[in-house]
A and B are shown apart, each in its own frame.
Chain A
Amino acid sequence: MNARLTAAARHRLFWPVLVLAILLLSNLIFTPGFFKVEVREGHLYGSLIDILRFGAPLILVALGMTLVIATGGIDLSVGSVVAICGALACLMISKEADQNAVSGVLIAVGLALGLALVLGLWNGFLVAGVGIQPIIATLILMVAGRGLAQLITDGQIITINSSPYERIGAGYLWTMPVSVLIALAVTAAAVVLTRRSALGMLLESVGGNAEASRLSGIRSRQITLTVYVFCGLCAGIAGLMVSSNVSGADGNNAGLFIELDAILAVVIGGTSLAGGRFSIGGTVLGALIIQALSTTIYTVGVPPEITLLVKALVVTAVCLIQSPAFRAKVFRRRSRPPTAPAVADEQPRVEVPV
Chain B
Amino acid sequence: MAERPILEMTGISKEFPGVKALVDVDFRLFPGEVHGLMGENGAGKSTLIKVLTGVYDIDAGNVALAGEPVRFGSPLQAQHAGVSTVYQEVNLCANLSVAENIFIGREPRRYGMIRWSEMRKRSADLLARLQLDIDVSAMLGTYSLAVQQMVAIARAIDISSQVLILDEPTSSLDASEVEQLFRVIRQLKGEGLAILFVTHFLDQVFEISDRITVLRNGRLVGEYPTAELAQVDLVTKMIGKELAVLEQIEEQPKRSLAALESTRAVLAAQDVGRKGAVAPFSLTIHRGEVVGLAGLLGSGRTEVARLLFGADRADRGQIQVDGDPVAIRHPRAAINHDIAFCSENRRTEGLVEDLTVRENIVLALQAARGWSRPIPRRRQDELVEKYITALRITPPNPELLVRNLSGGNQQKVLLARWLITEPRLLILDEPTRGIDVGAKAEIQRLVVSLSDGGMAVLFISAELEEVLRLSHKIAVLRDRAMVADMANTDDVDADRIMQIIASGATS
Contacts and interface: CB of A to CB of B under 8 A. Distances in A.
B370 A219 contact: yes
Given A217-B367, A352-B218, A212 B40 contact: no
Interface in B415-455: 417, 430, 433-434
Interface string A126-137: 000000000000
A208 B297 CA distance: 28
A201 B343 contact: no
A217 B371 contact: no
B364 interface: yes
A353 B41 contact: yes
Contacts of A211: 348-349
Nearest to B351: A212
B4 interface: no
Contacts of B19: 350, 352
Interface in B265-289: none
A109 B498 CA distance: 73
Please indicate which of the listed interface residues B350, B367, B373 has the most CB atoms of chain A within 10 Å of its own CB: B367
Contact of A204 (B21, B332, B354): B354
A39 interface: no
Given A196-B374, A350-B18, A202 B367 contact: yes
Contacts of A342: 404
Interface in A170-203: 196-199, 201-202
Main SS at interface, chain B: loop
Highest count of chain B CB atoms <10 Å: which of A218, A350, A351, A354: A354
Contacts of A277: 354
A276 interface: yes
A59 B371 CA distance: 25
Contacts, number: 117
Contacts of A347: 17-18
Interface size on B, as a range, is: 35 or more
A208 B367 contact: no
Contacts of B364: 216-217
B353 interface: yes
B217 interface: yes
Contact of A213 (B21, B341, B352, B369): B352
A86 B422 CA distance: 51
A348 B347 CA distance: 9
Nearest to A201: B359
Contact of B373 (A198, A205, A226): A198
B462 interface: yes
A333 interface: no
B366 A201 contact: yes
Nearest to B356: A201
B284 to A, nearest CB: 24
B90 interface: no
B341 A215 contact: yes
B246 interface: no
A198 B371 contact: yes
B350 A202 contact: no
Contacts of A199: 371-372
- The residue in A209, A217, A349 that gathers the most chain B C-beta atoms within 10 A of its C-beta is A217
Contacts of A218: 363, 367
Nearest to A218: B367
Centre residue among A218, A346, A347 by max chain B CB count within 10 A = A218
Interface centre among A201, A215, A226 (most CB of B within 10 A): A215
Given A201-B366, A204-B355, A342-B404, A212 B348 contact: yes
A199 B92 CA distance: 42
A345 interface: yes
A354 B41 CA distance: 10
Given A197-B374, A350-B19, A350-B21, A216 B367 contact: yes
Contacts of B366: 198, 201-202
Contacts of A353: 40-42, 297, 430, 433-434, 462
Interface in B26-50: 40-42
B463 interface: yes
Given A218-B363, A342-B404, A352 B217 contact: yes
Contact of A198 (B348, B354, B369): B369
Given A197-B372, A277-B354, A352-B217, A205 B348 contact: no
B40 A198 contact: no
Contacts of A354: 217, 463
A223 interface: yes
A10 interface: no
Nearest to B461: A353
B16 interface: yes
B403 interface: yes
Nearest to A274: B354
B324 to A, nearest CB: 20
Nearest to B435: A351
A327 interface: no
A219 B367 contact: yes
B313 to A, nearest CB: 13
Nearest 10 CB-CB pairs, A to B? A351-B434, A198-B374, A217-B335, A218-B367, A208-B354, A208-B352, A199-B371, A217-B367, A276-B354, A350-B19
Given A199-B372, A212-B343, A218-B363, 4 more contacts: A201-B359, A205-B359, A216-B331, A353-B433
5 contacts: A202-B371, A215-B343, A215-B349, A277-B354, A351-B42
Interface of A: 196-199, 201-202, 204-205, 208-209, 211-219, 222-223, 226, 276-277, 342, 345-354
